[in-house]
Structure 1
Amino acid sequence: MMLKKFILLFLLITIACGDSKENNVTKTEENKTLLVKADGSYDKIPLEKDTIVLKVMQTRVKSLSSFNSIEEGLEENMKYMEKLANQAQTEGSKPDIILFHEFPLTGYSSGTRQEKMPFTIEVPGPETERLGKVAKSCDCYVIFGSYVRDAAWPDHILSINTVLGRDGKIAKTFWKSRNIKRLYKTKEITTTTIEGVRDAYRKKYGIEEEFPVLQTEYGNIAVSTVQFDPFIYAAFAMRGTEIMLRTATLFAQEDVVFTAWSNDFYSAMANFTLPVSTGYNAGESIIVNPHGEILAKHPSKEEDGIVEAKIPIAAFRKDRTIPNYALEMVKPVFEQYRQEIPINHLNVKKDKLPKTGEEMKKLFDSISRYVPVKTAD
């Protein structure tokens, strides 16, 4: 009995010391890098035009696992993306930015980690090279999400949004910041996000890459797949985001509208389509202005199509500062808050990575700061 209590006390002290050491390292790194300017200004480059055209591609999703071969699936999905991009160039206004949804190339895959790994792409890779030619031919930015594998992160399945520049080259990649948690009763999402490996991510890419902003001649843009997470988007806004481009696997319109409104930036959500009979809230891709007004919305949940809107970026940018948040007022509360699942929860050896959503839930339950730990008497 006494031995068990001693071991438990030792573990608690060890964890506390580890947290303290980690926090000291983190704070030192945070203090070294200027992430937000104190005067409300933010970095940007000169605009090429006063008004830009944003086009959102609402398309069907086909999983690579449903084809006879991965090569066949990638080819069909690629050709469909090329077809829609060509349509975007020839119909309506010429696009400056084309936004696809989260899975136009790979689709969504189920199964274990090892079963899903083949249904990923590499960035850079042949797919980004081919889509780069699309971007170059239409003289616009092309953005899409995908499941990605990376030799630097063995056995991790990454959710990454890639931005292809007007020159056809990769201008920026955006890791997903974090996954929504406790959405399901029996499982959790297994993809690796910045939050899951934050310290290793910082060491490799730098703290400024946690909430990166791409400064372009069409405005400061950022891309994310995160949903229902106001803190994440507030951080992007503080970093100088002017156009927040979002990719989705289903979404709530209210989330997009409020996020744009509360963070004073333009935003768009590209969704995929599904038959209404499935019962899922697919389609209805939208573009929203900083006042929370919907500039454009696709009327269908199951029909593919293109949504477009003009953004008066020069007028919007004039005399603009980052949003006015009540951070000093809420700081005492925020400093005492501890999120349920600690960061770096996937910073483990590859053989220890959860193989399924059920295993991911077991991991979360075991490290949860909210779920009481059961101990023997």
Structure 2
Amino acid sequence: MRKILHIDMDAFYASVEQRDDPTLRGKPVVVAWRGSRSVVCAASYEARKFGVRSAMPAVRAERLCPDAIFVPPDFTRYKAVSRQVREIFLRHTDLVEPLSLDEAYLDVTAPKIASPSATATAEAIRAQIREETALTASAGVAPNKFLAKIASDWNKPDGLFVIKPSQVEAFLEPLAVSRIPGVGKVMEKKLADLGIDTVGQLRGFAREELEARFGSFGGRLHARARGIDEREVEPNQPVQSISAEDTFERDLLLEELTPAILRIAEKAWAATRKTERVGHTVVLKLKTAQFRILTRSFTPDAPPTSLQEFTAIALALRDRVDLPASTRYRLVGVGLSGFREADESAGQHGLFAFEAPPDQA
């Protein structure tokens, strides 16, 4: 039986800003550049009360919270704090799987420092983070990654939640299916159409039926509904790709995709800012109404260094789709791949003059 922790720093970027500038404490802080093409990197809990969330367009955040204080992100500083936190994790276990600058899975089944329980280890880590960084973190303790991630969000901010093996079934029974990773708005509606709103209701469906309706994801739904997740904590797994995608309520023509590409590119770009590695290849994914999947990619001479560059390439890739103009699309995704360590890309500095990518597969 594994003992897994999911540690998640609370409103990380915004909390670092409030820690370093006492005048920001207790105020609604939004970490983002101002402008119509900017996206929120993080929001303090004071700003979240107004509905401001990460990956949200900055102009919308400003409408929701007119008194918000906008602070431009300082990723060098955030990465330095992230390294401090990582060093604390490694005191307790070598099995640390970072997900981003502000969260990680830890396997503490056999901790390096003697501890009476996984819960005690989580408490020790949280105390050390508070003492050494003056920041807070929330933790989830559970038998697997799926449950630990849900648990870490249960008592945020600055909280701890434990799901013991004997409690898994009772905990999952009333849980909304939207809490299962991968269940977005569209999938939530499809499940609701089947009369499935909770994990307990999902449990009543056989694996075969779920797979027939949702393919391999149906199998994952069946397993998660039973609290099953056999994935191991994998240390030193570098980020290879980051993307975001969305399925539309109605199928759209290619020429109608611009607003969706802009929105999804903002979300994907915000996610790429949470890793220390640098992505080089922009990828556009489309799925037609007939479920045909197309991808287009382009690797510029230097990696994109701004949302504007990233979005411009994504839009240019859309123009390389050569299906009939009457083709309709049900999904679009935008992402970055070809990630390398930052020092490998050090020679590729400065903004490049963007040109439409050539017609390459």
Tell me which interval the TM-score lies in, with the shorter structure as reference length: under 0.3
**TM-score, structure 2 as length reference:** 0.25
**TM-score, structure 1 as length reference:** 0.24
Larger RCO (alpha carbons 8 Å, 6+ apart): 1
